[in-house]
Structure 1
Amino acid sequence: MISYVWAEDEATNIGYHGKLPWHLPADLHHFRNLTINHPIIMGRKTFASLPGVLPGRLHVVLSHDDNFRKKYYTNKNVLVFNQISDLKTWIKDQEQEICVIGGNSLFELFKEDVKILHRTIIHEKFKGDVQMPRLNYSKFHLINEENYLPDNENKYAYSFLDYQRK
């Protein structure tokens, strides 16, 4: 089963210059809780934006860069595919939840297959150069919503929204 895990601002921005446009510790904790012990699928740029290989998760990266594939060939925590068809075949063989975490092209690629959406909305607008693709939310039920105000550790109001495909 494919799920999406992402954060966006009120303008649907999800990235700026290869990084998140905000710092929100509560969302980083939420992301960890959702993805721990699950494979996480991403593109090479999203992988590069991480602070390193995240513990407790298989990093499945789609990249056409042969040097990138060679660099991680022996890393048991990183699996690199250079063909979408090979990635889709690998996904079909998985029995657990697989979390797509970005970027834009991977969210676009699997938007008809995704079953669960784990969406964080940061209630601000930031500079961004990558936006979340438009999803048809009418095909999903909102199953959980949690809203939070800014606090000492989290500068912005935010919401955690979970959806399940109808």
Structure 2
Amino acid sequence: MSEPIPNLSIIVATDKKHGIGINNQLPWHLPEDLAHFKRSTSGHPILMGRKTFDSIGRPLPKRRNIVITRNQNWQHEGVDAVTSLEDGLALVANQNAFVIGGAEIYQQALAFAQQLIVTEIQQEYECDAFFPKIDPVIWQERSREYFVAESNQLHYAIVTYIRK
């Protein structure tokens, strides 16, 4: 069994059915959540799968971008490529780091994370990728803030969970 890493957080936005995306894209438009993501992760290493990186299209500024890919020859300027989550975690030992997706990487990272920062969008979307169900035996809700997006009146909450 893997040990949780004190400085590892997962950050994710989900719909009411835990959907996180469709066709490698976000199915919603929520600029306020993107701003929250930027504020939360700026200055910290971020770990993501290669498909998530491809959907973003470039390294995110003011963050060390670490991409997890099975392709040992994959590379991109401004990115550290690793072939496993564990290799990526070794690069960020003793740093506050964030796992930013996608579904397969989230599933693997749950065993290591100490904190989940979840934007819960109060609507359902057509999705083909999902975040795992948050197990209340393992995770305790620490805070919940409710918001309504100015741009489209979308209701959402930013919820922080900590490992019990």
Tell whether the structures are fold-level matches, with TM greater than 0.5: yes
Name 2:101's counterpart in structure 1: 102
- By percentage of residues, which structure has more helix? 1
- Structure 1 vs Structure 2: percent identity of aligned residues? 31
User: Any idea what the Cα deviations from partners look like across 1:50-93, whole Å, max 9, x if unmatched?
Assistant: 14221101111011224522xx2xx3x311002444334334xx
Worse-matched range after superposition: 50-59 or 5-14: 50-59
Name 1:89's counterpart in structure 2: 90
Name 2:155's counterpart in structure 1: 157
Name 1:122's counterpart in structure 2: 121
What secondary structure, in the 3-state scheme, does the structure 2 residue paired with 1:143 have? strand
Q: How does 1:1-166 map to 2 (within 5 A)?
A: 1-69=7-75, 72=76, 75=77, 77-91=78-92, 94-151=93-150, 153-166=151-164
Amino acid in structure 2 at the alignment position of 1:157: H
The separation in 1 between residues aligned to 2:136 and 2:97, in whole angstroms, is: 20
Worse-matched range after superposition: 102-111 or 142-151: 142-151
User: Any idea what the Cα deviations from partners look like across 1:4-36, whole Å, max 9, x if unmatched?
Assistant: 000000011101011001010110000001100
Per the TM alignment, residue 137 of structure 1 is displaced from its structure 2 partner at its CA by 3.0
The separation in 1 between residues aligned to 2:33 and 2:154, in whole angstroms, is: 11
Amino acid in structure 2 at the alignment position of 1:11: K
What secondary structure, in the 3-state scheme, does the structure 2 residue paired with 1:127 have? coil
Alpha-carbon spacing, 1:7–1:84, altered in 2? closer, same or farther (3 Å): closer
Amino acid in structure 2 at the alignment position of 1:42: M
Q: Kindly tell me the number of residue pairs found equivalent between the two proteins.
A: 158
Is the CA contact 1:111–1:135 (under 8 Å) kept in the aligned structure 2?
A: no
User: Structure 1: which 4+ aligned runs deviate by more than 3 Å?
Assistant: none
Amino acid in structure 1 at the alignment position of 2:10: Y
Is the CA contact 1:4–1:101 (under 8 Å) kept in the aligned structure 2?
A: yes
Per the TM alignment, residue 136 of structure 1 is displaced from its structure 2 partner at its CA by 1.3
The separation in 2 between residues aligned to 1:40 and 1:154, in whole angstroms, is: 28
